Amino acid sequence: MIEDKNQQRTALEKLGEFGLIDHLTKNFEINQKSTIKSIGDDAAVLDFKSKQLVVTTDLLVEHVHFDLSYVPLKHLGYKAVMVNLSDVYAMNASATQITISIAVSNRFPLEALEELYAGIETAAKIYDIDVIGGDTTSSTTGLIISITAIGEIDAKDVIYRSGAKPNDLVVVSGDIGAAYMGLQVLEREKEVFKVNPKNQPDLDHYAYIIERQLKPEARRDIIELLKKLEVKPTSMIDISDGLSSEIMHICKQSEVGVAIYENKIPLDPQVISACEEFNIDSTTIALNGGEDYELLMTISQEDFPKIKGNPNLTVIGYITEKARGMNLITRDEQSVPIIAKGWNSLENQE
Ligand code: ADP
Ligand code: MG
């Protein structure tokens, strides 16, 4: 398990609210042209000229969305940013700014917040976004983080969930199910650690799935790839809750049905072996696991030659008339209705 490397513990009271904000935000650089005024006034000022704006918010609550016994704070900061950027990219937009609001109890020393902000700073650098503000307050128990992301886009380029048409192909980026299986491994090791704190687990052969859980990447590269390939998806959504609930959102909003082929769903070999080890069906995990932050999209059949053979994009099915419903075509060619469970309810399954 992750040890607390911070020997030093500076009480937050020592800095006061303003001292704390200054300390945490002093390293943030401003690189976006649209940022006119950043941290330091009553509000930030942005200028997007003729672009449309996309705005999205996520709230992360300790013990509900993350467990600090195995999530390093630096990774948490990074992931909190990714979760939001993923929503911006799912609109086909460029992410430009974020705000960060935190509620923190005095159980956390300054060094813990420094770690959190180091993760946020790394994400901001890599994804080229400006941190332009936030809010800081105290909490009586755990840590709460709320991030709002802002992005820009030309009106003609926006991709909604509602644009899928019968015969469009259903395409997914990367592979899915890994973040959920990474979480299963981490939860198991946490239980082992409780019984035997001296035990140092060997997690090497779970490296990929654990990384997918602790340090996901938002797929900005896929948005860029689609532009380069001159493919504009007809609909798009990011996979935060699992393939089945995301495809259901597209079908509902586009008023269409879908056929997904079980044998086309991209799974990493580590997901397959972890599923065997945990004795769970890998298709169930792909459909209902969560937090993969891949992009699920539909494209017109005409665009198929442009994506064909690209290792980042997998065709997993096609859109049908609404009346045909949402179906999974299993490996033995049975058609079974897809029901969206969402990944939280997986826990009550057995
Ligand atoms: P106000 O009293 O107007 O809410 P604050 O004192 O909370 O102002 O914030 C001062 C400045 O610092 C503002 O620009 C605000 O957006 C920014 N800020 C506050 N908390 C954070 C934080 N946790 N992360 C980043 N910026 C923050
Ligand atoms: Mg404030």
**Predicted local confidence at residue 342, as pLDDT:** 52
Q: Residue 102 and residue 60: Cα distance in Å, rounded?
A: 10
Q: Is residue 246 part of a domain?
A: yes
Dist. CA 101 → ligand 1 center (Å): 8
In a domain, 51, yes or no: yes
Same domain, 328 and 199: yes
Confidence at residue 267, expressed as pLDDT on a 0 to 100 scale? 98
| Residue 220 CA, ligand 1 centroid: distance in Å | 28
* Domain stops at, among 157, 190, 213: 157
Last residue of a domain, one of 142, 157, 172: 157
Residues 145 and 210 in one domain: no
Widest CA span of the chain, in angstroms? Answer: 65
- 165, 102: one domain: no
Say if CB 344 and CB 242 are below 8 A apart: no
Task: Output the pLDDT for position 340.
Answer: 67
Regions of the chain short of the pLDDT cut 50: 1-3, 343, 345, 348-350
Is the Cβ–Cβ distance between 12 and 109 less than 8 Å? yes
Quick check: helix, strand or coil at residue 329?
strand
Q: Are residues 166 and 144 in the same domain?
A: no
- C-alpha of residue 283 to centroid of ligand 1, in Å: 44
Q: What is the pLDDT of residue 341?
A: 66
| Packed helices 110-126 and 73-89: angle between N→C axes, nearest 10 degrees | 30
Q: What pLDDT, on a 0 to 100 scale, did the predictor assign at position 194?
A: 87
pLDDT in the model for residue 349: 44
pLDDT at 345: 45
Kindly state whether residue 29 falls inside one of the protein's structural domains. yes
Domain end position, chosen among 157, 191, 221: 157
Question: Does 308 reside within a domain?
Answer: yes
Smallest CA separation from ligand 1 atom 19, residue:
135
User: Do 81 and 192 share a domain, yes or no?
Assistant: no
Return the CA Rg of the chain: 21
Residue 118 Cβ < 6 Å to ligand 1: no
What is the span of the domain harbouring residue 30?
12-157
Q: Where are the alpha helices (DSSP H) in the chain?
A: 16-25, 73-89, 110-126, 178-195, 207-214, 220-229, 243-254, 269-278, 282-288, 304-307
Q: In testing the pocket of ligand 1, which one of 26, 28, 39, 137 has its CB within 8 Å of the most ligand atoms?
A: 39
Please name which ligand lies nearest the alpha carbon of 19.
1
Mutation test residue for ligand 1: of 21, 81, 116, 144, the one with most atoms within 8 Å of CB: 21
Ligand 1 pocket check for 21: Cβ under 6 Å: yes
Residues 223 and 125 in one domain: no
Residues 312 and 198 in one domain: yes
Residue 143's identity, in one-letter code, is L
Domain assignment of residue 118, yes or no? yes
The pLDDT, as a whole number, for residue 187 is: 95
- Residue 57, annotated as binding a ligand: yes
Domain harbouring 136, CATH code: 3.30.1330.10
Verify whether ligand 1 is closer than 6 Å to residue 23 (CB atom).
no
Indicate which residue's Cα is closest to atom 27 of ligand 1.
Answer: 134
Residues 166, 139 share a domain = no
Closest atom of ligand 1 relative to the 100 alpha carbon = 24
Q: Count of domains in the chain?
A: 2
- Tell me: is residue 347 an annotated ligand-binding position: no
- The answer to whether residue 345 is domain-embedded is no
Are 280 and 323 within one domain?
yes
Instruction: Report whether residue 100 contacts ligand 1, using a CB cutoff of 6 Å.
Output: yes
- 90 lies in some domain: yes
Report pLDDT for 5: 54
In short, whether 39's Cβ falls inside 6 Å of ligand 1 is yes
State in Å: Cα 65 to ligand 2 middle: 24
Atom of ligand 1 nearest to the CA of 42: 3
Q: What is the CATH number of the domain that holds 328?
A: 3.90.650.10
pTM for the whole thing?
0.93
Residue 2: its pLDDT value, please? 47
150 and 35 share a domain? yes
Give the neighbor-by-neighbor strand order of the sheet with 335-337. Answer: 235-239, 294-299, 169-173, 313-320, 257-261, 326-329, 335-337
Q: Please indicate if the annotation marks 291 as binding a ligand.
A: yes
Tell me, in angstroms, the distance from the centre of ligand 1 to residue 137's CA: 10
Determine, yes or no, domain membership for 5.
no
How would DSSP label each residue in 24-91? HHTT-----TTEEE-BTBSS-EE--TT-EEEEEEEEEEBTTTB-TTTS-HHHHHHHHHHHHHHHHHTT
Statement to judge: residues 321 and 174 lie in one domain: yes
Tell whether 193 and 48 lie within a shared domain: no
